[in-house]
Amino acid sequence: MVQAPQIPFDFFAPTPASFDSFVVGDNAEVVTSLYALTDRASPVKPPPAVAIWGGPTVGKSHLLAATAAATNADNPGAAVLLAAGDAFPADPFVSARLICVDDADRLTAAQQGWLFTAFNHIVPSGGTVVVSGRTPPAQWPLRDDLRTRLGSGLIFELVAIPQDALPGALVEHAARRGFQLSDEVLTYILSRSRRDVASLWQIVNGIDALSLARKRAVTVPLLREYLARNNLSDSGASEV
């Protein structure tokens, strides 16, 4: 009986979210603004809030995680990273100077109360609350006093990477994982898969792991098998 291949320890495991691994595209202004928040020595007074909004898979969660990670790199505990689905800390009087809340447009009533108190605690001392949501913050179904505060600083729409930039971004991502995408494999991925960064990254990571398990090069037949086994092929994707 032939056993399915064991996926080995992935020594090219994805690194934590960072600004370096974010495909900027047309989002340079928001990336620059978030990165500036991580610089403790900056003479510029930080805004009370930064709200980013956009559709699914444009990278909102990535950027919030990158902002928190960069802030904590030199000063552990300086940033708190939360999401609407998380259990929030019991005490809103946190010592952090940066609070990042993903999916803030989905907060429960209790979470809204926590964030309201935390906002009023850290902002007077120069702290910032960074939040994300699917629509502009003025449309978020939150209590009025919190929604007003979250919209009182910078507001950015995060947009998807341009389609013509996807090939280069995929090649760079594969190179960071230690292998080269051939033109044939690249064309097959882009013509048979969903064309958003999150989905494409998942495919590159998965085919890399499968090629290591099989001890085979990344080829179209191997890619076709991976897509079929994981139901990742998008029949509606357009040819390139």
- CATH number, domain of 191, equals 1.10.8
| Pair (60, 131) in one structural domain | yes
CB–CB of 174/204 below 8 Å? Answer: yes
206 inside domain = yes
* Non-local CB neighbours of 36 within 8 Å, separated by 6+ positions: 42, 44, 46
Tell me if 19 is assigned to some domain: no
Do 41 and 147 belong to one domain? yes
Indicate the residue among 127, 157, 187 that finishes a domain. 157
What is the reported pLDDT for 131?
A: 98
Q: Return d(Cα 94, Cα 87) in angstroms, integer.
A: 15
Question: Which is more confidently placed, 4 or 168?
Answer: 168
Look up the pTM and report it: 0.78
* Chain segment 76-105, per-residue pLDDT in tens: 999 999 999 999 999 999 999 999 999 999
Convert the pLDDT of each residue in 93-141 to its tens digit: 999 999 999 999 999 999 999 999 999 999 999 999 999 999 999 999 9
- Percentage of the chain lying above the pLDDT 90 cut: 62
Asked whether residue 49 falls in the same domain as residue 153, the answer is yes
pLDDT at 240 over 60: no
CATH code of 75's domain: 3.40.50.300
Domain-located, residue 168: yes
pLDDT range class, residue 236, cuts 50, 70, 90? very low
pLDDT in tens, 176-204: 888 999 999 999 999 988 877 778 888 99
Q: Are residues 141 and 208 in the same domain?
A: no
- Considering the domain architecture, whether residues 34 and 153 belong to the same structural domain is answered as yes
Query: Over the stretch 7-24, which tens digit does the pLDDT of each residue have?
Result: 444 434 445 788 887 888
220 close to 184: Cβ distance less than 8 angstroms: yes
Look-up: residue for tokens 């179209």?
Answer: 220
Reported residue count of the chain is 240
Report residue 2's pLDDT band, with 50, 70 and 90 as the boundaries.
very low
142 and 191 co-located in one domain: no
The DSSP annotation for 87-136 comes to PPPS-S----SEEEEETGGG--HHHHHHHHHHHHHHGGGT-EEEEEESS-
Contacts of 121 (CB under 8 A, 6+ apart): 92, 93, 94, 127
pLDDT at 74: 86
Domain C-terminal end among 128, 157, 186: 157
| Total of domains in the chain | 2
Residue 60's domain spans which residues? Answer: 28-157
Say whether pLDDT at 232 is over 80: no
